[in-house]
Amino acid sequence: MNLTSTQKATVLFVLFLLASAWSWMFKVTDTANALPLTLFYLTITINTFFSVKLFSSIIPPGDPIQIIIDTILILLYFVMAFFLGNPITFVFFTLLLFITASTKYSFLLNQLPHPRLLKKKILIDLSGVLMSTLTLGGIILGYSWISTWAFSIVFIIANILLFFVWPLYRPDTKTVS
- State the pLDDT confidence band at 171, using cuts at 50, 70 and 90: low
- Those residues whose C-beta lies under 8 Å from the C-beta of residue 144, and which sit 6 or more positions away, are 33, 87, 88, 138
Judged against a pLDDT cut of 60, whether residue 80 lies above it is answered with: yes
* pLDDT single digits (tens) 14-65: 999 999 999 999 999 999 999 999 999 999 999 999 999 999 998 988 889 9
Average pLDDT, the chain: 93
d(CA 80, CA 48): 14
Question: Phi-psi category of 30—alpha, beta or left, where left has phi over 0 and alpha has psi -120 to 50?
Answer: beta
* pLDDT single digits (tens) 124-141: 999 999 999 999 999 999
Count CB neighbours of 53 within 10 A.
19
